[in-house]
Each structure stands twice: as structure tokens, then as C-alpha cells.
Amino acid sequence: MNPRNIYLIGFSGTGKSTVARLLGAELGWSNWDVDQLIVAQSGMAIPAIFAAEGEADFRLRESLALRTAAEAQPVVVATGGGAVLRDENRALMAETGWVIALEARPETIQQRIAAQLRQATPDAVRPLLDADDQLEQARALKQRRQHLYALADWTVHTDRLNAEQVVAEIIRAVELLEKLVDPQ
Ligand code: S3P
């Protein structure tokens, strides 16, 4: 039987994409980034999808991309920050893998996103954080979703960790979770 997938959930700027890449390499698994898959499947950048189709249609594309990524079992999947919003996504992740939440304080998130924007990292522009007071917007949106991030099997607080340390924490967590399921 294939091992369970590993899904990284959490708000923007918590390091999901970077950590998924490193974790996939460490485990010898493929890794998928749901945002990148949406861009590949639609041929449109994420801000363009939000502008042309609105958030509801973006969420449908996100669910489709998540289902595609989940099929590559075993796979490490970096989800988008809002992927936890739809019941169907949460059910798929819980059924087929371990759900690991990456956490960070709003101030950390704001600093990381600002750095990504300065470096013109692809997907650095988050339409839902496009506000005059980006910190307040991140704080409010994150707070509304916190009960969904809290459903994860494990949570890693990333503020003081580099990506390699987060990867090590996730591997430790998954080993522990597997032992709890199969205590031999
Ligand atoms: C979103 C987060 C983004 C991207 C889109 C919507 C959200 O992904 O999916 O802009 O609703 O929080 P990241 O979490 O990779 O920034």
C-alpha cells in the first residue's frame, strides 16, 4: 500500500510551496503545488483568474487541481491558503493523507510576502491580500479561517524556523502519526 500523501495547509506566507519542494526531495516523492497546477490547467495567472472569474470560480479550479495532485500518491502537496474552505477539499485531504498546518504570525507573513514581491517571485501577488493595510487584511482573513487550519493532524509554527527545520519537524511528526495509527 502506498504511504499516505502529505498535504501542507496554512495561510499565505507560511512557506508551504518551499517546504513541499524540499520535503518531496527529502522523501523521494513528487511534489505538487496547487496554485501552480491551477495556472498550468487554466493558462492564466491567479490574479487574472480572480479578476476574470471571481473567487467562487477560482475555488472550483482549486478543488480540481487538488484532486489532480492527490492522485499522484504518494505526493507532497502544497495547497493554497484558501483550500481548506471547501468541505470537499478537507474531506479529500483527510481521507488520503496527513494534513500538516504551517503557521506564522501575521507580521511574519507580511514580511515574507513583501520579500517575495521584491524578488518578483511567481504567484507573489495574492488578490485577497490586496488592501491598503495588508497586515490588518492578513490578520482578519487568517482569523476567519483559523478554525479550519486547526483541523490539521499537526501544526508547525514556522516563525523562527528555516525551511529545512520545518521539513525535519514534518518528518518527525509524520513518523509519530504513523506509529499512532500502527503501533508496532
Ligand atoms: C489564497 C492563497 C493563495 C492563492 C490565492 C488565494 C487564499 O495561495 O491560492 O491567491 O485564499 O488564501 P498561497 O497560500 O500560496 O499564497
Given the CA of residue 82, which atom of ligand 1 is nearest to it? 11
Average pLDDT of the residues in 93-113: 97
Concatenating the DSSP letter of every residue in the chain gives: -PPPEEEEE-STTS-HHHHHHHHHHHHT-EEEEHHHHHHHHHSS-HHHHHHHHHHHHHHHHHHHHHHHHHTTSSEEEE--TTGGGSHHHHHHHHHHEEEEEEE--HHHHHHHHHHHHHTT-TT---GGG-SSSHHHHHHHHHHHHHHHHTTSSEEEE-TT--HHHHHHHHHHHHHHHHHHHS--
Share of the chain above pLDDT 90, in %: 89
Determine which residue's CA is closest to atom 10 belonging to ligand 1: 126
Pocket of ligand 1 (CB under 6 A): 12, 16, 35, 46, 80-82, 126-128
Compute, in angstroms, the gap from residue 81 CA to the centroid of ligand 1.
4
| pTM of the entire predicted model | 0.96
Residues above pLDDT 70, as percent of the chain = 97
Q: Is the pLDDT of residue 148 over 60?
A: yes
Shortest-distance Cα residue to atom 12 of ligand 1: 81
Binning pLDDT at 50, 70 and 90, where does residue 150 land?
Answer: very high
From 86, 128, 145, the mutation candidate for ligand 1 (largest count of ligand atoms within 8 A of CB) is 128
**What architecture is the 5-178 domain classified under in CATH?**
3-Layer(aba) Sandwich (3.40)
Find the mean pLDDT for residues 47-68: 97
Query: Where are the chain's structural domains?
Result: 5-178
- Which residue of 19, 35, 62 sits with most ligand 1 atoms within 8 Å of its CB, as the best mutation to test the pocket? 35
For residues 105-129, give the mean pLDDT.
91
Inform me whether the pLDDT recorded for 99 exceeds 80.
Answer: yes
